[in-house]
């Protein structure tokens, strides 16, 4: 299937070496093991920096899955992420604000990349972000049980979305 026949792109972000930070990547990994229609592509993007722009542009619909640190990301994201948040939250790309911008393109995170795209008036209306609240991101391999559970929930949610798309 050529790229212009893809109707949904799911992008998993995060580092598998940083514990629960890799939860978005884990969702992508799980989706890749499912039988998906040819119109869905799943990208295990990891920490792509500015190259994320290429993954988003000229796509019909994009879902980005990334870890969101509980409390710490407030007020960067439009919707508050706190202890009461359950398994995942939806974040509008347009709502992302950040006081200090990462100076290095090498380390450009999702928020900075989206702010750059918005500054350049690039279309973000096709992008949905699913944020998975995590307590910490430490140098350890593998996810906590809590993050594993959340990864399952998000995977199920995306699979339901895909089923609905096929109707």
- Contact positions toward other proteins, by CB under 8 A? 49-51, 53-54, 101-106, 112, 115-116, 119-121
Please list, residue by residue across 86-119, b when 16 or more beta carbons sit within 10 angstroms of its beta carbon and e when fewer do.
Answer: ebbbebebeebeeeeeeeeeeebbbbbbbbbbee
- Side by side, which strands form the sheet with 8-13? 40-46, 8-13, 62-69, 127-134, 89-91
Q: Please say which residue, 25 or 151, places its beta carbon nearer to other proteins.
A: 25
Q: Please say which residue, 80 or 101, places its beta carbon nearer to other proteins.
A: 101
Query: Nearest distance from residue 57's CB to other proteins, in Å?
Result: 8
Q: Please say which residue, 102 or 148, places its beta carbon nearer to other proteins.
A: 102
User: CA-CA distance, 43 to 31, in Å (whole number)?
Assistant: 10
Find the Cα–Cα–Cα–Cα dihedral 6, 115, 111, 150, rounded to 10°: -40
Query: Nearest distance from residue 113's CB to other proteins, in Å?
Result: 10
User: CA-CA distance, 154 to 132, in Å (whole number)?
Assistant: 8
Q: Please say which residue, 108 or 158, places its beta carbon nearer to other proteins.
A: 108
Q: Please say which residue, 18 or 53, places its beta carbon nearer to other proteins.
A: 53
Query: Nearest distance from residue 70's CB to other proteins, in Å?
Result: 26
Q: What is the CA radius of gyration of the chain?
A: 15
Query: Nearest distance from residue 38's CB to other proteins, in Å?
Result: 19
Structural contact between residues 40 and 10, judged by C-beta atoms closer than 8 angstroms: yes
């Amino acid at each position: 299937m050529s790229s212009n026949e893809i109707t949904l792109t799911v992008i998993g972000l995060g580092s598998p070496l940083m514990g629960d930070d890799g939860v978005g990547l884990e969702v992508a990994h799980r989706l890749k093991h499912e039988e998906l229609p040819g119109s869905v592509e799943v990208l295990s993007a990891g920490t792509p920096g500015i190259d994320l722009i290429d993954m988003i542009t000229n796509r019909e619909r994009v879902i980005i899955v990334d870890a969101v640190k509980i409390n710490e990301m407030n007020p960067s994201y439009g919707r508050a992420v706190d202890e009461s948040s359950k398994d995942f939250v939806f974040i509008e790309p347009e709502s992302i604000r950040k006081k200090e911008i990462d100076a290095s393109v090498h380390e450009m995170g999702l928020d900075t990349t989206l702010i750059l795209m918005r500054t350049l008036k690039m279309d973000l209306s096709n992008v949905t972000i699913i944020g998975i609240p995590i307590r910490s991101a430490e140098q350890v391999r593998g996810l906590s049980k809590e993050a594993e559970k959340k990864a399952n929930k998000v995977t199920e949610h995306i699979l339901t979305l895909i089923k609905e798309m096929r109707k």
